[in-house]
Amino acid sequence: MFAVLIQSFQFLLVIAVAYLFKRGSILKSTDGLILQKIILYLTLPATIVVGFNGVTVEPILFIMVALGLLSNILLITFGGFLWRKKTAPQQALMMFSQAGYNIGNFTIPFVQGFFPAAIPYIGSFDMGNALMLFGGSPVIVDRMTRQDHSSAGYLSRIIKLFKSPSFTAYIFMFLLALLGIVLPDPLVSVFQLFSSGNAFLSMFMVGLYLEITVDRVSLRRVRYLLTVRYLLAVLVAAGFYLLLPLPELVRVSLVLVALAPIGTVSTINMIIYGNPRSFSSFLSSVSIIFSLILMTLSLLLIM
């Protein structure tokens, strides 16, 4: 329990320091792009390699992939139904705000310090999550909002998926696990060197991107969107933990991913589908703070 509180406090401290660096003009929001590339191409793939190395492929991992797909489909469809009478950009906003999880840059860094054994399960869920973020979700949004932003063919979507280093790392390590190949310790130690900075860099990037200024009208809309998201998230998390006949660690992993913040790709899609960049960034920033609090509370209740 104490370890969870310490971890959460450390994350908040790093986020706060990064935000103060930005406010003090020591760094700029655009500097977050550099950190994002370091995380995307180095520290996150290294964390995935370390977390998946030596894992035995079990049916549970395929179940996690399926749950990542299914939860996104259900939540994005529900969001579209809820705001079906709104304008197309507003309906898309609701849909993208309800589905899509920030797992690579938030949930994995959150657990890697004290729940490293959960990374294969969370990563498997993220594979299904990524399939939706990079392809499935925009297709559903287009059909429900009668827009055409996802006209790219299936081959283009697959290529886009594999342009994501983290998704490629998932697939590579999954294939190694299927073949029973375990990377040697000297090689793993190199990946551990890079993965050790993942949590710090991820939270520092969050602080640089953090936006806490918005007008009152937008604030009311953010409050509504996040209230719906986290009410549904709590229900989904409770269902995962209480109803699924899975091992304890797997159910805890599902609770954490269900409470994860809005995915970065979802935020980008909100902008692509006609919503203001400042509003979408603020919505994403607030969801990170809410998720950190709820994930911490959930672990305190479970442990």
pLDDT at 63 over 90: yes
Contact, 210 vs 19, CB < 8 A? yes
Residue 56 has what DSSP assignment?
P
> Cα–Cα distance between 242 and 245 in angstroms, integer?
8
Residue 225: what residue type? L
- Per residue in 94-142, pLDDT (tens digit) is 999 998 999 988 899 888 877 888 999 999 999 999 888 887 888 889 8
> Cα–Cα distance between 92 and 107 in angstroms, integer?
24
- Per residue in 197-222, pLDDT (tens digit) is 888 998 898 888 887 777 787 889 99
Average pLDDT of the segment spanning 36-62: 90
Give the model's pLDDT for residue 152: 58
Q: Give the residue numbers spanning the domain of 33.
A: 2-302
Binning pLDDT at 50, 70 and 90, where does residue 189 land?
Answer: very high
Beta-bridged to residue 56, according to DSSP, are none
Contact, 261 vs 106, CB < 8 A? yes
Contact, 294 vs 233, CB < 8 A? yes
> Cα–Cα distance between 200 and 256 in angstroms, integer?
19
- Rounded to the nearest integer, the mean pLDDT of the chain is 88
> Cα–Cα distance between 230 and 287 in angstroms, integer?
9
Average pLDDT of the segment spanning 78-86: 89
- CATH code of the domain containing 128: 1.20.1530.20
Average pLDDT of the segment spanning 21-35: 89
pLDDT at 257 over 90: yes
Binning pLDDT at 50, 70 and 90, where does residue 33 land?
Answer: confident
- Per residue in 130-159, pLDDT (tens digit) is 888 887 888 889 888 887 766 555 667 677
Contact, 288 vs 267, CB < 8 A? no
Structural domain total, the chain: 1
Higher pLDDT, 291 or 33: 291
Give the model's pLDDT for residue 111: 87
